[in-house]
A and B are shown apart, each in its own frame.
Chain A
Amino acid sequence: MNSLLSIKDLNVSFDTPRGMLEAVRNVDIEIAAGMSVGIVGESGSGKTVLSRAAMGLLQGSNVHRTGTVVFDGHELTAMTRPEVRSHFGTGMAMIFQDPMTALNPVRRIGAQISESLIFRLGMSKKDALKRSLELLQLVRIPDAKSMLRKFPYQLSGGMRQRVMIAIAISCNPKLLFADEPTTALDVTVQAQILQLLRELREDLGMAMVLVTHDLGVVAGNTDYVAVMYAGQVVEFSPTTKLFADMRMPYTEALLESIPKIDHPAGKRLLAIAGRLPDPTDRGSGCSFAPRCRYSQAKCLEESPTLKTDPDGHLYRCLFPIGEAL
């Protein structure tokens, strides 16, 4: 596979007063140009940290990152910060979960969009504003002209998310990280934003990493899915195949915990019992074992490695679904 982004053995941990917090462990992911990959997992599974660490946005003396990240032939993990930065916007871009807080509250929309164009593409201020207007129209913002003069607080959540997408795609990135782009939005707006992302991706030929906790979002919008649990990728497969033939008990539990529209009233919703293991204390055995309905004695002792089916389907389980015990 000719990969655009290649993450190898990525580990991210944070120094905390309670000890080392291992947020991302031994992650390998390959993403080809134009491909869309979903990263799914519950809150705290490390999916946001993974995407930010891949791009190199995590900073601070308490952040430890090992492993290699190669983007478009450049090894980001071996570069200085200004060198990495030179790929931002034009190579990789990111949209964030909360459009309420990810736009600068004191700067006009026009300034925030044209900034990238001026500083990354070297456009003149006038051209950048003209292009900003086109970008706003591209993300289907009505009355785009007046929008340029507005401040983020004057916009609705959906509009702000569109502005953020406009900023992200402004320099024609090859890869877009979308970190829970629809979580903070109404369901109807969610659908519009996902639709917009899908169309933009097709038009611009962008690859996308879609981080979400919602398997439903992943289903219609990605080619591949990586399921994360406790900082590890526990299952990786083409999206259609994952839903048809999942191997990882955690993925199954995640899918079951989505409330169905025909769920009987008064009946308890299914939830995965227990909670995520303490990220500062990674004990032995499978991280999911204490919460797994299929767990055996062996699961508590031996850490499962990633196994590969002949068709390339990856999973991290000693007793995968569909395998005779």
Chain B
Amino acid sequence: MSKFGFWLQRVTQVLIVLLLVTFGASLLLRLIPVDLATILIPNGSESEREILRTEIGLNKGPIGYYLQWLGNFVHGDLGKIYFSGGTETVSGHLAKAMPRSLLLMAYTQVLALSVAIPLGVISAYRAGRRTDRIISNVLFVMSSIPGFAIALILIIVVGVKLAWLPTLGYATYSEGIWEHFKHMLMPVLSLSFGLIATYTRLLRADMIASLREDYVTMAMSKGLSDRRILWKHVFRPSSITLFTSAALSMGGLIGGAIVIESIFATYGVGFEIFVAIAGRQYISLQSCVAVIALFYVFFNLIVDIGSGFVDPRTRDRRVNV
């Protein structure tokens, strides 16, 4: 298949997924069996509600409503947050929340991968021996503690007792890099604990399988050092599952860090969703869902491209291995 054809196909796939997800979210909204206008502005007058209905298309059918929403979405109008009197826009909120969530996710991934990759490689190399057993026991404990519990323990110990780190809030780069990382460290730790365990296990299992391959014996017979064999010959063909899993968890980390974001009050996208649900701001919710879906699909696309670099066999459809 030509390169252009391949890309055309990928982009079409992505667009279809996005349309389906956003339409689904929009349809869910219309399935709520009460009048949306009443929910969105409970204290408004009937004439105000009528204006709102025309404004966001609630007076149209589900498809008409969706198309109007989609049109607005594409133009960057993600709706308003009405309990503040309709002066705050969802896009305004997300513009503030999204960078925080993206940074939180990026730091978490970097930390989790940079701990999990060496651990996975070492425990596969020493499989069944003491080092491996210690690592896997520690990971088992780590993965059994839920993130919010780790967050609370960290707050009590590191934040309150030792008073090393701030327990709440967020600091931007402009408030000082050091301040920024001090605020991010505990949320990042809480989120990465479980991921480290998952990633290490995935990598360990795949590495152990690869270590049995003939090409490893072949590499040994070339007289290469164990270190070189592990990193150059075994790690790469073993890392596809790891990177796929990492990419898929990115979507979850953007929108799914609701609990952690709420505990540390970092006001990211997860927190925005929490507020939208609690305040019944369904238009905001629908747009947040759409934005998260957009990122999710984007990261998936990155993985698809990236896996071609990691394992060339996945680049070619006529693979016969």
The answer to whether A and B come from one shared complex is yes
A residues neighboring B (CB under 8 Å):
52, 55, 57, 61, 82, 85-90, 92-94, 96-98, 100-107, 115-116, 119-120, 151, 153-154, 164, 167-168
Q: Which of chain A's residues have a CB closer than 8 A to the CB of B128?
A: 61
The residues in B between 274 and 321 inclusive whose CB is less than 8 angstroms from any CB of A are 310-313, 316, 319-321
- Closest-CB distance, B231 to chain A (whole angstroms): 12
Q: A89-B222, A153-B321 are in contact. List 11 more A-B contacts (CB 8 A).
A: A85-B225, A88-B222, A89-B223, A101-B213, A103-B218, A107-B232, A115-B232, A116-B223, A116-B224, A119-B224, A153-B320
B319 near A153 with CB under 8 A, answer yes
A-B contact count (CB 8 A): 88
**Which of chain B's residues have a CB closer than 8 A to the CB of A154?**
316
Bound CA span A42–B310, Å? 39
Q: Can you identify 10 A-B contacts, CB atoms within 8 angstroms? A: A57-B220, A89-B221, A90-B223, A96-B218, A100-B321, A104-B233, A115-B232, A151-B313, A153-B312, A153-B321
Q: Once the chains bind, are A153 and B223 in contact (CB under 8 Å)?
A: no
* B217 CB to nearest A CB, Å: 6
- 6 smallest A-B Cβ distances: which pairs? A88-B223, A102-B214, A94-B221, A101-B214, A89-B223, A104-B215
Contact B233 A57 (CB under 8 A): no
Q: Give A298 to B225 CA distance when docked, in angstroms.
A: 51
Minimum CB distance partner of A56 in chain B: B220
Task: Say yes or no: is B159 at the interface (Cβ < 8 Å to chain A).
Answer: no
Asked if A167 contacts B222 (CB within 8 A), the reply is yes
> A105–B223 contact, CB under 8 A?
no
The answer to whether B313 and A105 touch across the interface, beta carbons within 8 angstroms, is yes
Chain A positions within 8 Å of B237 at CB level: 104-106
Q: Which residue of A lies closest to B218 (CB)?
A: A102
B221 CB contact (under 8 Å) in A57, A82, A86, A100 = A57
Interface centre among A82, A96, A102, A151 (most CB of B within 10 A): A102
Most B CB within 10 A of own CB, among A100, A105, A154: A105
What's the minimum C-beta distance from B42 to chain A, rounded to whole angstroms?
Answer: 59
With contacts A57-B217, A96-B217, A96-B218 taken as known, whether A85 is within 8 angstroms of B312 at the C-beta atoms is: no
Per-position binary interface string of chain B over residues 235-259, scored 1 when its CB falls under 8 Å from any chain A CB and 0 otherwise: 0110000000000000000000000
- Chain A residues positioned under 8 Å from B218 (CB to CB): 94, 96, 102-104, 164, 167
State whether A105 touches B311 (Cβ < 8 A): yes
Contact among B129, B228, B313 with A153 in the assembled complex (CB-CB below 8 Å): B313
Q: How far is the CA of A9 from the CA of B128 in the complex (A)?
A: 31
- Bound together, the chains give a CA A8 to CA B107 distance in angstroms of 58
A residues near B228, Cβ cutoff 8 Å: 119
The docked-state distance in angstroms from the alpha carbon of A102 to that of B213 is 7
- Cβ-closest chain B residue relative to A97: B214
Contacts of B217 in A (CB 8 A): 52, 57, 94, 96, 102
Instruction: Collect the chain A residues with CB atoms within 8 Å of residue B312's CB.
Output: 105-106, 151, 153
Interface of B is mostly: helix
Q: Are A87 and B223 in contact (CB-based, < 8 A)?
A: yes
B219 is an interface residue with CB less than 8 A from chain A: yes
A106 vs B316: C-alpha distance when bound (angstroms): 13
Q: Measured between alpha carbons, how far is A82 from B225 in the docked complex, in Å?
A: 8
Q: How far is the CA of A104 from the CA of B311 in the complex (A)?
A: 10
A153 contact set on B, CB distance < 8 A: 312-313, 316, 319-321
CB-CB nearest in chain B for A150? B312
Q: For A100, what are the chain B residues with a Cβ–Cβ distance below 8 Å?
A: 321
Question: Which of B215, B218, B224, B236: most chain A Cβ within 10 A?
Answer: B218
Q: How far is the CB of A163 from chain B (nearest CB, A)?
A: 11
Contact residue among B215, B319, B320 (Cβ-Cβ distance under 8 Å from A102): B215
* Contact of A107 with B233 at beta-carbon distance under 8 Å, contacts A102-B214, A153-B312 already known: yes
Interface residues of B in 112-137 (CB under 8 A from A): 128-129
A116 proximity list for chain B (CB < 8 A)? 222-224
Q: A167 to chain B: which residues have CB within 8 Å?
A: 218, 222
Q: How far is the CB of B227 from chain A (nearest CB, A)?
A: 11
| Minimum C-beta distance from B273 to chain A (A) | 39
Which of chain B's residues has its CB closest to A113's CB? B222
In the bound complex, CA of A57 to CA of B239 (Å): 25
With CB as the reference atom, state the residue of chain B lying closest to A59: B220
Residues from chain A with Cβ under 8 Å of B213 in the complex: 101
- B223 & A106 in contact (Cβ 8 Å cutoff): no
How many Å lie between the Cα of A96 and that of B225 in the bound state? 20
Give Cα A154–Cα B220 distance, bound, in whole angstroms: 24
Instruction: Report which residue of B128, B223, B311 has the largest number of chain A beta carbons within 10 angstroms of its beta carbon.
Output: B223
> Chain B residues with Cβ under 8 A from A107's Cβ?
232-233, 236
Q: Which residues of A contact B129 (CB under 8 A)?
A: 61
Most buried by A among B217, B225, B228, B316: B217
| Choice from A85, A98, A104, A164 contacting B223 with Cβ under 8 Å | A85
Residues of A near B233 (CB, < 8 A) are 104, 107
Check if B219 sits within 8 Å of A106, measured CB to CB. Answer: no
Chain B nearest Cβ from A174, distance in angstroms: 14
- List of B residues within 8 angstroms of A57 by Cβ: 217, 220-221
Using a CB-CB cutoff of 8 Å, which residues 48-65 of chain B contact chain A?
Answer: none
Contact pick for A93, options B221, B310, B313, B319, CB 8 Å? B221
